[in-house]
Amino acid sequence: MLYKKNIPAWERVLRVIAGAMMIAAGLYWLPGQMAGYAIAAMGAMAAMTGFIGFCPMCSIAGRRLLLRK
């Protein structure tokens, strides 16, 4: 595995939902405009980090996933 997950399950769900909402908002409210495409791209990145479970920016900040035993 090339990465270690650093996002908890509850945050992953929120990122996927928020990402889908950003994609829909960017393409619905600003169709054909560069700002709409930028919002949709940011939403796609948020959803992708939710699906994968790894966020590069959280990794740079030193965030680790705490595993309870």
User: Residues 23-50: pLDDT tens digits?
Assistant: 999 999 998 899 999 999 999 999 999 9
Which is nearest to 52 in space by CA: 24, 1, 67? Answer: 1
Q: What angle do CA 47, 42, 49 make, to 5 degrees?
A: 30
Q: Could you tell me the pTM of the whole model?
A: 0.82
DSSP letter, residue 27? H
**Binning pLDDT at 50, 70 and 90, where does residue 68 land?**
low
